[in-house]
Structure 1
Amino acid sequence: MKQGAGAPTRRAVLGLTAGALAAPALAQARFPDRPLRLFVPWTAGSSSDVQMRSLAELAQATLGQPVVVENRPGASGTLHVQPLAASRPDGYTLGQMHLSIVRRPFLVRTPPWDAVADFTHILRLCGWMYGVAVKADSPWQDWRSFIAHAKANPGKLTFATSGIATTNHLAMEELGVREGVEFTHVPYRGSSEGMTAVLSGAVDCIADSSVWVPQVESGAMRALCVWTAERVPRLPGVPTLKELGHDMVVTSPYGISGPKGMDPGVVRALHDAFKAALFSPANTAVRAQFDMPEQYLDSEAYAGFIAQRAEYEKTMVQRLGIRLD
């Protein structure tokens, strides 16, 4: 039978059939189609862990798949970095990116990674509220009495942090230089462990993120200073470093990154989901709980920040002369 002018050819019919069959397959390949994992390099219950878990829970509502948090504490928050860099760049393995990761290549002879080249930076989230706190029954009522004791007892005062060469560790070293005193650093795997050490009397003070604030509010600890640009609303009587004569603001902004080579469409989907989570009322409340300043940057701007910060960290490490090997 002769085909009419408007009738489809056999080849066209086969093409339409193949297209119809391919469409569901393409739909099934949408990202994500299985659970994601998010490396958090701190102990469970720390301020960063609580914040990242909140983000994961909120983002999975947008992504339509679970975002499973894996805690990998230790090595100053860098134990997760090499597994992250070695993961497939498919968007299903993510990790917290922070300044210790950017800094570490400049602290060792053989850099284990390049924070600029070895990762896909998805978005910057927020920073930490750092400060120094002591046990409530300690003899130091304020920062000045603490420094006076340090000057009279060189090397005797100890401070806990979440690890060697972390932002808070280097900031305390810098403060020691500025004040003309010598502290002794006692690193722990996470800020919650450091807080416990101070409460037990094993260490004189903690210089770390705000996991210690509830202890100050309860009367178990006393804050001597905060490192934010302005005083913290929850601690209105505690001075900033600027008020104490030091032109220093230390917030150490962090974000989320994945392995290098991720598809731009996948990056966009992850960025949008975690950005929505960051600015949600639920996560805003969590950040307020830990006094974490919002410091959002999109993917392009965050990659630029990491590159710029790498140069700064290299200069700072060289100036302080700190090495890990």
Structure 2
Amino acid sequence: MPHGIPTASPTASLIASPSELPTSLARRRLLLGGAATAVAAATGTAGLILPNGARAAAAYPERPIKFICPWPVGGTADQSMRALCQVAAGLLGQSVVVENQAGASGMIGTKALARANPDGYTIGQIPISVTRFSQLGMLQLDPRTELTYLARTSGQTFGIAVPANSRFHTLQDVIAAAKADPGKLTYAHAGIGGATHVGMEQFAMAAGVKFNAIAYKGGAQALQDVLAGQVDLLADSSSWAPHVEAGKLRLLATWGEQRTPRFASTPTLKELGYNVVVEAPNGIGAPKGLPPAIEKKLREAFRAAVASNEFKAVAARIDAPVMYLDGPDYKKYVSTVYDQETQLIQRLKLKEMLQQS
């Protein structure tokens, strides 16, 4: 998290068009279209004159859909969203254009989504951190009531890593050093108030130690400085994975409920006795006021996209556990997390931390 709120120029890229889809997806679209025609003929609705709103919903989507991703191109969240959009494009019969509006730990893109016209032609990723940043004053909306939720999709695998030549071979080594010299050990994270920062501070509190947190605008630069030996520890989602496999980094712990399959020999914080679990699931949503019929179409498309083999393959590659919830259930989940964040903000004194920065 930068010390201010940065701006970022949108970067748009065409994610998929129906003609580019795999044969299986094209066939699925054809079958869906044929079924819809048969139902219309059987019920006599094909020739009905519908009200304008219903007619628009029935024809939706008639043009490409913009999808706002609030993270930089190439990151794990960006990769998972692009995979979902590619499958959803085939099911909806229109291209989905991914536009990256990164900055402020995902809040720049979220603000743009919330301000968009609720017509179904602007949708996007909603980070679960909206529940925290709305209470910290960085997002001027109530995420419990002022957004439309379509699906919760997948989580992330977070962990603590060190350079391969580090003197720390286990997390216990880190804790011992931090207790011996409070505030000296540095860790790199992707932004004040974000999941990596808050998760690491939760761990520090549980372990009874104090670290020196170094904030970056994103995980990429944090990773590079740790690889270069300029920072002691890296707290990040699975950006470290290929470097751990290549022997350049050592993974000391992950933050999920269970060990991640690809790094099954690495313990979780919970296993090591620290009751800290951070998975930060991704979600998809739209502005408040989305017409119910359009909302239904989008929920159905992304439900199928999350269940697709195409998405599951990408999720496995980036260590993103599938955590699907339908829109209404995801909305309830957001409300639950909002209440948890209220307590966390108070316990970690996050408002004071932001003011000091």
Tell whether the structures are fold-level matches, with TM greater than 0.5: yes
**Is residue 99–residue 167 contact of structure 1 (8 Å, CA) maintained in 2?**
no
Provide the aligned length of Structure 1 versus Structure 2. Answer: 305
Deviations 1:228-265 (A, max 9, x none): 11222211221111221112221112210111011111
Structure 1 residues 175 and 273, CA gap change in structure 2 (3 angstroms) = same
Question: Is 2:259 aligned against 1:231?
Answer: yes
Structure 1 residues 200 and 142, CA gap change in structure 2 (3 angstroms) = same
Normalised TM-score (structure 2): 0.81
Structure 2 match to 1:11: none
Deviations 1:266-308 (A, max 9, x none): 1111111112111111110111112211111111111111112
Structure 1 match to 2:226: 198
Q: What SS does the aligned partner of 1:79 have?
A: helix
Shift of 1:21: 10
Equivalent-residue separation in structure 2 for 1:58 and 1:20 (angstroms)? 31
**Is residue 77–residue 163 contact of structure 1 (8 Å, CA) maintained in 2?**
no
Residue 133 of structure 1 is aligned with which of 152, 155, 161? 161
Report the residue type matching 1:114 in the other structure: D
Q: Tell which deviates more after alignment, 27-36 or 264-273.
A: 27-36
Structure 2 match to 1:50: 79
Structure 1 match to 2:64: 35
Shift of 1:125: 0.7
Alignment of 1:87-166 (within 5 A): 87-108=116-137, 112-166=140-194
Structure 2 match to 1:316: 344
Report the residue type matching 2:298 in the other structure: L
Question: Is 2:278 aligned against 1:278?
Answer: no
Structure 2 match to 1:12: none
Deviations 1:14-69 (A, max 9, x none): xxxxx97968x948961111111111121211111111111111111111111111
Q: What SS does the aligned partner of 1:80 have?
A: helix
Structure 1 match to 2:30: none
Q: Which runs of 5+ in 2 are unaligned?
A: 1-45
Equivalent-residue separation in structure 2 for 1:28 and 1:244 (angstroms)? 52
Q: Tell which deviates more after alignment, 186-195 or 73-82.
A: 186-195
Question: Is 2:235 aligned against 1:207?
Answer: yes
Shift of 1:187: 2.1
Report the residue type matching 1:227 in the other structure: W
Q: Which has the larger radius of gyration?
A: 1
Equivalent-residue separation in structure 2 for 1:122 and 1:275 (angstroms)? 9
**Is residue 57–residue 294 contact of structure 2 (8 Å, CA) maintained in 1?**
no
Structure 1 residues 180 and 30, CA gap change in structure 2 (3 angstroms) = same
Report the residue type matching 2:191 in the other structure: G
**Is residue 43–residue 189 contact of structure 1 (8 Å, CA) maintained in 2?**
no
**Is residue 189–residue 196 contact of structure 2 (8 Å, CA) maintained in 1?**
yes
Equivalent-residue separation in structure 1 for 2:267 and 2:48 (angstroms)? 66
**Is residue 121–residue 258 contact of structure 1 (8 Å, CA) maintained in 2?**
yes
**Is residue 46–residue 190 contact of structure 1 (8 Å, CA) maintained in 2?**
no
Identical-residue share of aligned pairs (%): 41
Equivalent-residue separation in structure 1 for 2:328 and 2:47 (angstroms)? 37
Residue 73 of structure 1 is aligned with which of 70, 90, 102? 102
**Is residue 131–residue 209 contact of structure 1 (8 Å, CA) maintained in 2?**
yes
Shift of 1:221: 0.6
- RMSD value, Cα: 2.0
Equivalent-residue separation in structure 2 for 1:186 and 1:284 (angstroms)? 34
Shift of 1:89: 0.5
Question: Is 2:284 aligned against 1:269?
Answer: no
Q: What SS does the aligned partner of 1:181 have?
A: coil
Equivalent-residue separation in structure 1 for 2:133 and 2:308 (angstroms)? 33
Equivalent-residue separation in structure 2 for 1:194 and 1:70 (angstroms)? 24
Q: Tell which deviates more after alignment, 193-202 or 44-53.
A: 193-202
Structure 1 residues 274 and 153, CA gap change in structure 2 (3 angstroms) = same
Structure 2 match to 1:8: none
Structure 1 residues 27 and 114, CA gap change in structure 2 (3 angstroms) = closer
Structure 2 match to 1:287: 315
Shift of 1:177: 1.2
Structure 1 match to 2:89: 60
Structure 1 residues 30 and 182, CA gap change in structure 2 (3 angstroms) = same
Q: What SS does the aligned partner of 2:343 have?
A: helix
**Is residue 77–residue 282 contact of structure 2 (8 Å, CA) maintained in 1?**
no
Equivalent-residue separation in structure 1 for 2:292 and 2:105 (angstroms)? 30
Structure 1 residues 111 and 27, CA gap change in structure 2 (3 angstroms) = closer
